[in-house]
Structure 1
C-alpha cells in the first residue's frame, strides 16, 4: 500500500523523520507492505509540493546547504501556502506536524475534516485542545496520533491509550523534561543556575530562549497530555506549574547530603496535575536525556517506563511509529 504524506516542519526533527523514511524504505515495505510517498514538505520559507513524490535526499541537501526550502527553485515550485491552505490543497493520506506552531490545532482540525489522518509531535495543540481534536478524529474514524509529544519515542502514550485498558490509573509521577535535568545535574557539581543554563545552550540542549523548559511549561504541556490520556481531557490552564528558576545550589547540595536529588517532577492524578521541583530518590533520579514515569494502577501496581525523552532519532522514532500505525489503520479501513 502506498501512503501519501504531507510533512509540516523541516527543522531538526522533520529532517530526522525524512532520514528514517529514506534509510528504512525497504524495512517498511518488507515488514508492513507500506511505501511512503512524501508529496509535500513545508518549512517557514514555503511549501514544496509534488504529487508524484519529492526526492527526500535532495530535499535534505537543499535544506542543509541553504537553510530553507524556498532556495530549491530549479526543479520544484515553492508555494507560499498558509498551513490551513496547504492542508486543504494538497492531496495526502496523512499529515505529519513536527512544527512548534502554537495554533496548529486549527489546521489539524482542517486536515481531519478533510479526511486526512494526523501524526504530531507538537504539544500545545493537545495541551489546549485535546478534547476537540480527539473527538473530531473519532467522529470521522481517522487516526490522530501523538506519541512523540511526551517522552519522545519512549512509548508511554501508546501504553496508556492501547495497552492498560483494564486498569484504572491511580497516579503518575514523572520527570519529563531533559533540559532541567541537565541543568540540575550541573548544579549538583556546584555550578550556579545561570551558568548551568548557558552550558545547556552551548551544547544545544536548551533553546536560545530557555523559559519554556526552566519555567516548567514544557513539562506542564506533557503532564496535561498524560492526564488527558490516563484520565479525562483538561487543558494546560487548569494545572499548577512551578519551574526550576528559583532552585539554588545550596538546596541542590542539601538534597545530595540526604542522598536525594532535585528534579522537576510532574504528579498526575485525576483532576489534579502539578509540576514542581522535588527532592527524589530511586527511579526518578534520572540523568542526561532520560525521562521516566512511574505509573500506578489498580491491577498492575507500579510500572516503570524509562527511556530517552529527547534527541532527534528518538523523537523521529515516535513520529515514524505513529505514521506506520496510522497507515495500518487506514489500510484496515
Structure 2
C-alpha cells in the first residue's frame, strides 16, 4: 500500500468537494490503486490546520460548514497562520493542492512546492496563463508532476486528451465554449430575459459571482483558451489574446440571431499563435450550441479529423473529479 500525503490550500466549495471524495472513496482508492491518502494540512483564509499524522476530514468538513472558518477549530489540532508560500515550503507533503480562487501570485507557491520536491495539482488559472514556461520548466527540472486538468472544462478531460492521447496528431485548431456563466446568461436571454435580469438570476443561483466581470467580459474563457494554446502549440502572451465579452450583447442581437435559426455564444477560437474570444452566432443545430453551463470543444487534427468533447464546465463534483484524478496521476506507479 502506498501512503500519499496531501496538503490542501483552499477549502471553499471545490476544496471541500475534494475532501468528500477522498473521504467517501477511501476504500475504493485502496482497492483499485493501492493508494492510501493522508491529508496533513488544510488551509483557508483564516488558518492552516497542520498535523503530520493526518487530519480527520469528516471533522474538517463539519467545522468549515458549521462555522465557515477553520480558525474556529478546537484544541485537537494546532492552528497556524501561514502565507501560502510557507505552506508550500514547510508542510511536508507529496502533493501540494492549490484550490484557491484565481490569483496571479499563486505561481510563487507552485514554484516553492516544486523546489521542495512536491507534485502540484491546481485549479488556479492565472499562474499558468502568465508563468507557464517557468512553471513547466521548474517542474521538469525537479522531476515532479504539474497537473491542472481542473483549469479548463472542470472535470471534462480536455487537457489530458491533448497532452496524453493525441500524441501523433497535429492539432490544427480548437473551437469551443468554455464559460458556463456566459452560456447561462445568453440562454436565459433567449427565453426573454434582459441581460441584467439574466445576470441577476445567474447570481441568485450561484452560477455568477457577485462581481461577474471575469466571466461576462470574457477573461475566464480567455484564460482557458490561453492554457489550451500553450499545451497544444507553444506559449503565447496573454497580451496577444483578443478578448470581447458578452456584456455588449443586446436583446436585439439575440432576436436577430433567432430569426436566422442561430444562437449567440461566447466562442473561443485557438490556432497557432492566434487566440480569439468573442460572442459569435452559432447555428442552433451545431454541436457548439450548448445550453445551461455545459462546455464544448471542437478539436480539429490532421489524423483524427474532427473530435467533439462535451461535458460539464462547472460544478463541485465535476471539478473535484479532475483534481482527484490529477492527484492519482501524480503518484500512481505505471
TM-score, structure 2 as length reference: 0.98
Aligned equivalents of 1:237, 1:19: Cα separation in 2: 38
User: In 1, Cα distance between the equivalents of 2:239 and 2:311?
Assistant: 28
Tell me the distance in 2 between the aligned counterparts of 1:102 and 1:209: 18
Match of 2:326 in 1: 322
1:236 Cα deviation (Å)? 2.1
Corresponding residue number in structure 1 for 2:311: 307
User: Within 2, Cα distance between the matches of 1:236 and 1:30?
Assistant: 43
Q: Which residue matches 1:178?
A: 180
2:82 corresponds in structure 1 to 81
Superposed CA RMSD: 0.8
Counterpart-to-counterpart distance in 1, 2:104 and 2:201: 27
Task: Give distance in 1, aligned partners of 2:49 and 2:240.
Answer: 39
Question: For 1:35, what is the secondary structure of its paired residue?
Answer: strand
Which of 272, 286, 296 aligns to 1:292? It is 296
> What runs of 5+ residues in structure 2 fail to find an aligned partner?
none
Report the equivalent of 1:13: 14
Maintained 8 Å contact 1:25/1:35: yes
Alpha carbons 2:104, 2:130 under 8 Å: kept: no
| Deviation of 1:79 (Å) | 0.3
Give structure 1 stretches of 5+ with no counterpart.
none
Provide, for residues 267-315 of structure 1, a one-character-per-residue CA deviation record: whole Å limited to 9, x for no partner: 0000000100000120000011210000000011000000001000000
- Cα distance in 2 between the residues matched to 1:238 and 1:71: 45
Specify the SS of the correspondent of 1:131.
Answer: helix
Maintained 8 Å contact 1:293/1:305: yes
Q: How does 1:55-94 map to 2 (within 5 A)?
A: 55-94=56-95
Moved more, 134-143 or 204-213: 134-143
**Distance in 2, Cα, partners of 1:78 & 1:9:** 15
CA–CA distance in 2 between the matches of 1:117 and 1:59? 23
Count residues with an aligned counterpart.
330
TM-score, structure 1 length as denominator? 0.98
What CA distance in whole angstroms lies between the structure 1 residues aligned with 2:324 and 2:235? Answer: 25
Q: Residue 220 of structure 2 corresponds to which residue in structure 1?
A: 218
Please list, as runs of the form range in 1=range in 2, the aligned pairs for 1:1-333 lying within 5 A after superposition.
1-100=2-101, 101-281=103-283, 282-328=286-332, 331=333
Question: How far apart in 2 are the matches of 1:275 and 1:211?
Answer: 15
Deviation at 1:73, TM superposition (A): 2.8
Where 2:287 maps in the other structure, the secondary structure is helix
Contact between 2:149 and 2:158, CA under 8 Å: does it hold in 1?
A: yes
> Shift of residue 194 of structure 1?
1.0
Whether the 8 Å contact between 2:122 and 2:323 is mirrored in structure 1 is yes
| CA distance in structure 1 between the aligned counterparts of 2:22 and 2:218, rounded to whole angstroms | 33
Question: Counterparts of 2:190 and 2:251 in 1: how far apart (Å)?
Answer: 7
3-state SS of paired residue (1:218): helix
Point out 4+ residue stretches in structure 1 off by more than 3 angstroms.
none
Instruction: For residue 284 of structure 1, give the secondary structure of its aligned residue in structure 2.
Output: coil
Aligned residues of 2:155 and 2:320 also touching (Cα < 8 A): yes
CA offsets, 1:229-272, max 9 Å, x none? 11011232220100000000111111111111000000000000
